[in-house]
Amino acid sequence: MEKDSLRGHFEQLLNERTGEFKMYPTERVWNSIYRRLHTRRKWHFIGGGTFALMILAGVFVLMQDNPRPPSKTFSHTVSAIKPGSRMLATENTSSIHTVPTRSNELNFNAGELQFSSSPLQSTTSGEDIAALNPVHAGTFELPSPELAPIIETHNLFSLQKAQNDPLLTSRLESIRDAEAALSTSPMRVIPSPTRYSWDFHFEPSVSYRTLKSRTTITSASLGFIVVDNNGYDINHLVEQRPSVGFEVGSDVRYALTSRWNLKAGLQFNYSRYTAAAAIVQQHTAITNLSVGSAPPTPVSNTTPYANESGHAGNMGDVTWIPDQRIELSVPVGAEFEILRTGGFSWNVAGTFQPSYILNAKAFLLSSDYQSYVQNPNLLRTWNMNIGAETFLRFNRGDVQIQVGPQFRYQLLPSFISSYPISEHLYDIGFKIGVVRTIR
């Protein structure tokens, strides 16, 4: 840079006096920078989570839309079909039931004429009566007596040929017309329950944490006097309060047996707690990170927050600094029905919950336990939680309502393994859920 001739003593003095001056930015600045630099990675996970949620929702909608459970498809060879009426006559001759709807189409398939149907119920005069399985009833019959022998004597190839035959084509069309006519029957069709169900749940919860130091805490390492008869338990060096958070999510369940259910889903967690801190002048606090026997790496952060409980004297104005996490979890687990009586049952459930932190505001204790600092880099983005719950489930017609307490514990420490203090969060909540069988 070319210096102008005008630059003299005054400029030099200004430069010297102001050039080295330091001001400490607030935490907001680094947090904003961090978010802007690392949002792409976060959005990948959010996008992935949303995509997974959409897939789950899509599967759910498809399963709701298709009343035919995959495990209950009946295939019949052509020879099983006999000529006769299209009506199903039950043993109870007082009622006549139709084989309903779109699921019982005639499908020409590899070497066989396939007929698919759910074990369905049809209603006559408001009364539900189980329909007979077409094969077992033995009375599912084609409308045209002359078509059956033709089909009976031909394999797939002859069937395909038959489709090209104008006479046979018109017959097959008449079958389809008859099917369509049946599908518009005013009779109400109620599918039978399947093994799948889904639930939606919401839990107000309170969150708290427990701390454990991986290094030995001695009075020398503290650098201040601890007036505490409880010894050097790190939990006594902080003052904290639980705060209210919540969880909301949805699961798909599969009934293994009448008592055991497997479940998997997506869950959104918001948990928080507060810690007492004194507001002091901006200062630099050191956090030592250590891996194995290697010498610790100091990381410096500026902060205006002192850990009041970590100091012997009164530090100044006390404030409660909020610590909060927003997570997306994938709970996978099982439920067991302990007791069933009348309209309700008593259950217990447990889940493993791999979790990804979408957003967090976390304060760490500095290595001398005297300051609270914010350092998002030291936060573990992936974690594993476990959940345990017990609940009562009440039958309310099509849906079941469940209520009961739940406990959630974070298995891995909140911060990376080189940070010497392990923090484990836990939530205690009250779960309210709605369960509905997928038909």
Partner 1 sequence: MTEDVLLQGCLHKDAAAQQEFYNRYSPKMLSVCYRFAKNREDAEDMLQEGFIRIFSQIHQFQHKGALEGWIRKIIVHTCINMLKKNKKFSESVDIQYAQHLSVREEAVPAVIQAKQVIECIRMLPIGYRTVLNLFAIEGYNHKEISEMLDIEESTSRSQYTRAKAMLEDILIRKRILLAPPEKALHQH
Strand extents, DSSP E, 52-147? 82-83, 88-89, 96-97, 106-109, 112-115, 121-124, 127-130, 141-142
CB of 32 to partner 1, least distance (A): 5
* Beta-sheet pairing, 141-142 with 82-83: parallel
Which is closer to partner 1, CB of 63 or CB of 279? 279
Which is closer to partner 1, CB of 217 or CB of 286? 286
CB of 2 to partner 1, least distance (A): 5
Alpha-carbon separation of residue 381 from 74, 101, 108, 378, 415 (angstroms): 49, 50, 53, 9, 9
Stretch that binds partner 1, among 33-41, 115-123, 133-141, 355-363 (CB under 8 A): 33-41
Taking CB under 8 A as the rule, does residue 4 contact partner 1? yes
Angle subtended at Cα 92 by Cα 89 and Cα 94, rounded to the nearest 5 degrees: 90
Stretch that binds partner 1, among 109-117, 123-131, 132-140, 369-377 (CB under 8 A): 369-377
CB of 204 to partner 1, least distance (A): 33
Would you give the distance in Å from CA 310 to the centre of its chain?
39
Taking CB under 8 A as the rule, does residue 302 contact partner 1? yes
Stretch that binds partner 1, among 11-19, 56-64, 312-320, 363-371 (CB under 8 A): 11-19
Q: Residue 305: CA atoms inside 13 Å, Cβ hemisphere, count?
A: 22
Which is closer to partner 1, CB of 30 or CB of 430? 30
Which is closer to partner 1, CB of 18 or CB of 94? 18
Stretch that binds partner 1, among 25-33, 47-55, 176-184, 194-202 (CB under 8 A): 25-33
User: At residue 416, what are phi and psi to the nearest 5 degrees?
Assistant: -60, 160
Taking CB under 8 A as the rule, does residue 38 contact partner 1? yes
Report the residue from 195, 376, 407, 412 that binds partner 1 according to the rule CB under 8 A.
376
Taking CB under 8 A as the rule, does residue 229 contact partner 1? no
- Element of type H or E holding 314: none
Residues 81-140 binding partner 1 (CB under 8 A) are: none
Alpha-carbon separation of residue 439 from 63, 111, 191 (angstroms): 7, 30, 6
Report the residue from 169, 300, 359, 417 that binds partner 1 according to the rule CB under 8 A.
300
Taking CB under 8 A as the rule, does residue 329 contact partner 1? no
Taking CB under 8 A as the rule, does residue 34 contact partner 1? yes
Query: What does the DSSP assignment read for 388-412?
Result: EEEEEEEEETTEEEEEEEEEEEE-S
Report the residue from 3, 126, 157, 295 that binds partner 1 according to the rule CB under 8 A.
3
Taking CB under 8 A as the rule, does residue 359 contact partner 1? no
Whole-angstrom distance, CA of residue 209 vs CA of residue 415 = 13
CB of 3 to partner 1, least distance (A): 7
Residue 87 in tokens: 């009506």
Taking CB under 8 A as the rule, does residue 2 contact partner 1? yes
Q: How many chain residues interact with partner 1 (CB under 8 A)?
A: 42
Which is closer to partner 1, CB of 347 or CB of 370? 370
Whole-angstrom distance, CA of residue 322 vs CA of residue 191 = 51
Report the residue from 17, 93, 127, 295 that binds partner 1 according to the rule CB under 8 A.
17
Q: Kindly compute the dihedral angle of the four CA atoms of residues 241, 246, 252, 256, in this order, to the nearest 10 degrees.
A: 40
- Element of type H or E holding 232: none
Residue 146 in tokens: 């002359």
Q: SS3 for 26?
A: coil
Taking CB under 8 A as the rule, does residue 23 contact partner 1? yes
CB of 101 to partner 1, least distance (A): 57
User: Is residue 253 within 8 Å of 261, Cβ to Cβ?
Assistant: yes
Q: Residue 33: CA atoms inside 13 Å, Cβ hemisphere, count?
A: 7
**What is the contact mask toward partner 1 in residues 275 to 294, using x (rule: CB under 8 A)?**
---------x----------
**Sites of contact with partner 1 (CB under 8 A):** 1-4, 6-11, 13-15, 17-26, 28-30, 32-34, 36-38, 284, 297, 299-302, 375-378
